[in-house]
Amino acid sequence: MSKRLPLLLLSGLFCLAGGSQPAMAGYKSDATVFISTKSARGAASTARNSSDNNQGIGCTLEGDNFASTTAWVNCSATAPDGHWATCYTQNQPAIFQAISAINGDSYIYFAWDANGVCTQISVTNASYYGPKAP
């Protein structure tokens, strides 16, 4: 019995030192859709959960093999004020790979050039974004 006493004391000290602290939720971030001159960003879940009925952000990846192996991307975003932006590109494997990582809770950033061609797409999937509400 006396061998168990140090273990019980150590367990008690652990509880006093923080083991019995109330559970805290992790970091959360709402990423409202924001559009600048040549880029847009925001979290899909934040847009979905917003009360303004305007926000949205996402990308579409399409391909066909009728006459060629053409594939193309279109990304679009709408800010809370209704301002929108879009870009497109085709046959860009690195951009296609980034878009394939998008899910309903992703943070999406995309940029475009003067012709509206997508020049960069970044996708972040992290615990602090989302989840979307029904």
Of all helices (H) and strands (E), which one includes residue 12? helix 4-14
Distance CA 27, CA 74 (A): 31
Distance CA 77, CA 34 (A): 8
pLDDT at 107 over 90: yes
Q: For 26-115, where are the alpha helices, taking DSSP H only?
A: 44-49, 93-99
Query: Which of 3-12, 18-27, 40-49, 92-101 shows the lowest per-residue confidence on average (mean pLDDT)?
Result: 3-12
- Total number of residues shown for the chain: 134
Query: Which of 17-31, 32-46, 48-62, 97-111 shows the lowest per-residue confidence on average (mean pLDDT)?
Result: 17-31
- Closest by CA to 90, choosing from 111, 74, 103, is 74
The 10 Å Cβ neighbour count of residue 34 is: 16
Instruction: Report pTM.
Output: 0.76
DSSP per position, 38-59 = SEEEEEHHHHHH-SSS--EEEE
